[in-house]
C-alpha cells in the first residue's frame, strides 16, 4: 500500500546533514558516523537521488517525480570532505554543501562546538561566571543549587542528553540559555562571549581535529568534483530572522562574494543558518542573486513549494534499516 502511495505522490525529500563523524557531546544531533552514513547511502539506491538544482527545476516545471531525494550538508565541516565525499562519489550521488565563511577566515571552531566543550565536557567549572558585553555585565551564580558534572563517567552518562529534555545539571541548563542568547549576537560579540568563557572555565582554546572546517583549497576541490555544489550559509552563520534588514543583507552578500571568489563559480543556492529567516530574508536573497534556499522546516517538497523556502529533514545517527523506515515516513508527511 505504501509503495503504491509513494509512486503516485509527486513529492520529494531533502535530507540535511552536518557532520559525518562522532563526538563526545552531540547535543544538537549533528553527527552521523561514517558507518551509518554509508548504510544510509545504500538505502538511497532504491530512490531517485537528484541534485538540489534539479529539484528546483522540477518544481518550476511542475515535474516533481515520486521518490525524489536531495542530499545537503550544512556548515562545511572538514569531515564532509574526508568522509562523506568518497561515499557519495561511490554512488555517484550529487550533493549541495552550504558554507559559511566565519570559521575559514578566523581559524576557530564554531561557537556551539566550543560551548559544548566548555560547559558539557568540563568537570571543573567555577562557582560564578561573568560576561561583560555592550557595557553590561551578565552574571550566573553556580553555587546555590549547583549540580555539576564531576567525573568522566558522568560525562558519558549525560552524553545522550537532548536539549528538549530536562537538563540533568546546572551546566546543561546554562548551556541551553547561552545557546539561545549567543544566536542573537553579532559574530564579534559571539567570539567575545566564548573567549570570556574559555578564560573563566579552565579550558584551553584550540581547534580540535574533529571540529575543523574545510579550507579554501578543499572547497575548490569539492566544487570542482562532479555533482557537488557549494551554496551560501551567511558570512558568520547568522540567524537572519533575529537581525535587522541591513545586518541580514551584509551577512548574505558578504557570504556570496566570499564563496564566489573562493570557488570561482556563481553561487545560486542558500541554506538558512539555524533555520532562522523571515520574509525580509527571502527578499534579500533575491536581491543578492540567490535562486533557491533551504530551511529546516520538516516537510516534503512538491510542485507548490517555494524555491526560496524549501523544507528539509535532519538525518540522525541511525543505521540503514531504521533510516529506510524514517525515509518512508517522511514521504507520507
In this predicted structure, what is the pLDDT of residue 104? 66
Q: What pLDDT score was predicted for residue 160?
A: 87
The pLDDT score that the predictor gives to residue 1 is 40
**Alpha helix (H) residue ranges in the chain:** 2-8, 34-43, 52-60, 78-79, 85-91, 102-106, 111-115, 152-158, 170-183, 187-200, 216-223, 245-263, 279-288, 320-332
pLDDT digits (tens, 9 = 90+) for 209-242: 999 999 999 999 999 999 999 999 999 999 999 9
Q: CA 267 to CA 329: how far, in whole Å? A: 32
SS3 state at 201: coil
- The pLDDT averaged over each successive group of 10 residues in the chain (333 residues) is 52 98 94 98 97 98 96 97 98 98 78 96 92 95 86 89 93 95 95 96 90 94 97 96 97 97 97 97 98 98 97 98 97 88
| Beta carbons within 8 Å of 248's beta carbon, 6+ residues apart | 238, 240, 280, 281, 284
Query: Would you state the pLDDT for residue 2?
Result: 44
pTM more than 0.85: yes
Residue with cell 576541490: 221
The ranges assigned to domains in the chain are 2-107+212-332, 111-200
Is residue 316 packed enough to be buried (19+ CB in 10 Å), middle (13-18) or exposed (0-12)?
middle
Query: Which superfamily is assigned to 2-107+212-332 in CATH?
Result: Glycoside hydrolase/deacetylase (3.20.20.370)
What pLDDT is recorded for position 5? 44
Q: Specify the pLDDT at position 8.
A: 45
Q: How far apart are CA 61 and CA 305, in angstroms?
A: 12
Closest to 99 in 3D by CA, of 243, 228, 249, 248? 228
**Residue 306 to residue 129: CA distance in whole angstroms:** 44
Amino acid at each position: 500500500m505504501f509503495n503504491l502511495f509513494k509512486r503516485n505522490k509527486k513529492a520529494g525529500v531533502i535530507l540535511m546533514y552536518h557532520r559525518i563523524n562522532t563526538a563526545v557531546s552531540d547535543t544538537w544531533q549533528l553527527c552521523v558516523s561514517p558507518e551509518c552514513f554509508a548504510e544510509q547511502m545504500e538505502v538511497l539506491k532504491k530512490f531517485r537521488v537528484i541534485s538540489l538544482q534539479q529539484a528546483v527545476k522540477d518544481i518550476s516545471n511542475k515535474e516533481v517525480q515520486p521518490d525524489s531525494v536531495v542530499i545537503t550538508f550544512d556548515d562545511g565541516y572538514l569531515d564532509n570532505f574526508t568522509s562523506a565525499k568518497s561515499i557519495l562519489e561511490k554512488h555517484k550521488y550529487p550533493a549541495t554543501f552550504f558554507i559559511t565563511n566565519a570559521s575559514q577566515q578566523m581559524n576557530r571552531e564554531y561557537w556551539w562546538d566550543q560551548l559544548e566543550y566548555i560547559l558539557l565536557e568540563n568537570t571543573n567549572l567555577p562557582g560564578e561566571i561573568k560576561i561583560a558585553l555592550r557595557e553590561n555585565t551578565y552574571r550566573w551564580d553556580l553555587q546555590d543549587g549547583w549540580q555539576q558534572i564531576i567525573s568522566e563517567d558522568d560525562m558519558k552518562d549525560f552524553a545522550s542528553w537532548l536539549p528538549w529534555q530536562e537538563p540533568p545539571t546546572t551546566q546543561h541548563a546554562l548551556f541551553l540559555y547561552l545557546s539561545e542568547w549567543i544566536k542573537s549576537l553579532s559574530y564579534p560579540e559571539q567570539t567575545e562571549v566564548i573567549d570570556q568563557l574559555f578564560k573563566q572555565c579552565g579550558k584551553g582554546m584550540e581547534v580540535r581535529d574533529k571540529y575543523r572546517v574545510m579550507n579554501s583549497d578543499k572547497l575548490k576541490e569539492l566544487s570542482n568534483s562532479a555533482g557537488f555544489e557549494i551554496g551560501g550559509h551567511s558570512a558568520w552563520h547568522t540567524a537572519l530572522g533575529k537581525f535587522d534588514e541591513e545586518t541580514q543583507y551584509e551577512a548574505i552578500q558578504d557570504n556570496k562574494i566570499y564563496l564566489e571568489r573562493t570557488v570561482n563559480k556563481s553561487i545560486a543556492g542558500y541554506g538558512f543558518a539555524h533555520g532562522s529567516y523571515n520574509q525580509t530574508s527571502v527578499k534579500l536573497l533575491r536581491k543578492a542573486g540567490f535562486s533557491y534556499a533551504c530551511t529546516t522546516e520538516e516537510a516534503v517538497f512538491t510542485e507548490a513549494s517555494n524555491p526560496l523556502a524549501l523544507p528539509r529533514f535532519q538525518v540522525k545517527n541511525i543505521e540503514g534499516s531504521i533510516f529506510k523506515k524514517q525515509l518512508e515516513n517522511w514521504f507520507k508527511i
